[in-house]
Amino acid sequence: MEWNDTPEQSAFRTQVSALLDEKLPDRYRDRKGDWQNDRVSEDPQVRETAEGWVNALAAKGWVAPHWPEEYGGAGLSSIEQFIFNQEMAKANAPRTGGRGVALLGPALIVHGTEEQKQEHLPKVLSGEIAWAQGYSEPGAGSDLASLQTRAVRDGDEYVINGQKIWTSEVHTADWLFALVRTDPDAPKHRGISFLMMDVKSPGISIRPLVDMTDEHWFNETFFEDVRVPAANVVGDENRGWYVGMTLLDFERSNISGAVTQRRAINELIEYANTDGMQISRLAERPTLCTEIADLYIETDVMFNFSFRIMTMQNAGQIPNYEASVSKMFASELLQRAAKTSAKVIGLYANISNADDDRAPMDARYARNYVHSMCESIRGGTSEVQRNIIATRGLGLPRG
């Protein structure tokens, strides 16, 4: 692996950094807003901030840096995407486009009709339309292919009945893409179709799922005789599983996770030695200093896991168990970091109300600790990742 930038890569890094210095709104730099929520805010100034930021990225093609240029992306190489994501994370800059950029766009580019591409891709890039993902169901999480939400063909439409769960931010989205069962008699992976629908379609209802930090990100989504045009199927009927699994060759190293963790540790150290000196437990518990030092080193390990994956992709290789190693390490590092941070702050880390004057750094440590609980579950549990590492990486037999 080559850790130093080439002159071309250095020039690109400078270009990204310059745009962030000039265009990134203070609202995002100071972590006071979320782009997808801001775009539908009742405050016109907040909406204007969100629109200005997406326009600044769109001018460079950086809303969807991994999309081909012909579809409005930047067509960046893996190393350029790595650099872009690294600089964005350093500046705490939010990505725009959400699941429309990351998931729907690649599916349409590979499997969609020309009409579907012309209708939906420009609206993703402009931020006009935000998308939510309808995959998981109460009985189909890790075993997603067991999904039961039913879509029955009726002329030029499908009639949908069923339920999805953990539909992140669907309450702020405009459209939903979902995997639905169109052939209940086919093998479970082969009777599924990929369908797009307007969230405001009659028969769709959304129930919020409020998490442990009293935040509303997740939802249950119910479908009662929802009618969707058959023209909204992406790819072939009953081949939706393969459409849903489509991803373009974009940078998957999670370098932003390594950068974010390093920044969080630096902020903890600075706070504990300045504003938080009165409540910090570092002096009375010197072992916490050792834990922080270990975490600092582990962020470098995480960076190198990320760098290895990017290097493989840049060489035309496909990361397999290497991605599982990186994902598992990153998830569990985040949990360790959250636990240590809470111990450094002590009992004040129990205050989760950001408006409480006694809450250190706007209750960041309390909220991070609670949020971290799900890290080793979502995106593939640590148990699943260990099985992949054992069988595909170490060649061990399946248990």
Residues with a catalytic annotation lie at: 251
- Where b means 16+ CB within 10 Å and e means fewer, 240-265 reads bbbbbebebebbbbbbbbbbbbbebb
In three-state form (DSSP H/G/I as H, E/B as E, the rest C), the secondary structure along 177-195 is EEEEECCCCCCCCCCEEEE
**Site of tokens 């893409």:** 177
Token representation of residue 3: 């850790």
Cα 215 to Cα 212: distance, rounded to the nearest angstrom? 7
257/334 Cα distance (integer angstroms):
9
Cα 203 from Cα 199, distance rounded (Å): 10
Residue 172 · residue 199 · CB < 8 Å: no
Q: Which two tokens stand for residue 290?
A: 């050792």
> If we measure between CA atoms, which residue out of 87, 226, 221, 90 comes closest to residue 158?
226
Task: Map tokens 């593939």 to a residue.
Answer: 380
Q: What would the two tokens of residue 54 be?
A: 């997406």
* DSSP string of 142-155, one letter each residue: SSGGG---EEEEET
Angle between helices 287-314 and 78-90 (to 10 degrees): 150
